[in-house]
Amino acid sequence: MNILVTGGCGFIGSNFVRQLLLDPARLARKVVNLDKLTYAGNPANLADVDGDSRYVFVKGDIGNEPLVSALLYEHEIDTVVNFAAESHVDRSIDSPEPFVQTNVVGTLRLLNAAKRHWHGLSSEDKEAFRFLHVSTDEVYGTLSPTAPAFTEETPFAPNSPYAASKAASDHLVRSYQHTFGLPTLTTNCSNNYGPYHFPEKLFPLVILNALEGKALPVYGDGMQVRDWLYVEDHCRAIALVLRKGRVGETYNVGGLNEQPNIHVVRLICSLLDSRVPRPGGGSYAELITFVKDRPGHDRRYAIDCTKLQRELGWKPSETFESGLAKTVDWYVANRRWCDEITAKKYSRERLGTHT
């Protein structure tokens, strides 16, 4: 495959690009990474594969149709994987417009460029072409403690500007398949965690604040439940959907790990206690501080990934315990990466919110 990955310098995108390039099966003939390099995009995330002759980085916006069209033609792209998105809920509450611009208008323009490119292909190449859109479980809204998990048939009910913008982009992708025949696929994932996560997110925020002796902020009572998915398992699912997924279908990707936020924070503290004992003794859990809840905070997300398991044979490789241990170890060993991206892109004084 000649693959255009959008947002490939972000958290999930960079893990996906790395997985493609390090895959012993060498399924990717070329990987073109188009990234606008907003605050969460970091080329250093891919420093270990930057010298690979199959890898091309282009700084640019998915909303720039002429640029996208040129890349599709120049590199003979047969696969598009769209990670590019504004994704932080708190930021969408503060300022919704950038989310509409990137997630809705940007996706529309990317689809337009892909459709034109696809129309110009031979019949055989048209058949092989794929456009995969990476989305979120937040489009489905929230669940009560006893409600069944989200399936692909769950009606959309987004509760934040971020979720609403992603729901709109999902609808656009679906419409381009049904109206124009563009061979699209969509994946809706649960909350990801793992290496290269931007430091404002829950896992790295807790790890880094703890190591610096800062408060560990937890919204409300901390009983918001999320289904945690290790990022490398998510990337394997995306690659599998690309190879074997049915055109026009949506596949939910879940970690099968529902955990309350407060439980996650305490587990991280426990792992840090054993790996980097707190100076002066005591547990890092003593730093936990409950703060005012976020407006409209969804109480529970849970993904039913039966369809992905049944049709494509996917299952997560990591348990929550093994994935969390790998994540904590990575951040402890990569403090320099964390310090550099934080200093360059984000004021430390604002590291106090998370999804």
Catalytically active residues, by annotation: 137-138, 162
Distance CA 64, CA 112 (A): 11
Return all residues near 263 (Cβ < 8 A) that are at least 6 apart. none
Distance CA 199, CA 286 (A): 21
* DSSP one-letter code for 47: T
Distance CA 169, CA 136 (A): 11
Distance CA 254, CA 149 (A): 10
* DSSP one-letter code for 292: P
The H or E element that residue 317 is part of is: none
Lookup: tokens for 87: 């994704």
Nearest to 218 by CA among 206, 204, 229: 206
Q: Tokens 């323009």 correspond to what residue?
A: 109
Distance separating the N- and C-terminal Cα atoms of the chain: 34
Q: What is the DSSP string of 114-152?
A: HHHHHHTS-HHHHHH-EEEEEEEGGGG----TTSPPB-T
Distance CA 176, CA 170 (A): 10
- 44 neighbors 76 (Cβ within 8 angstroms): no
Distance CA 342, CA 203 (A): 15
**Four-point Cα dihedral 202, 208, 194, 326, nearest 10:** -130
- 92 neighbors 160 (Cβ within 8 angstroms): yes
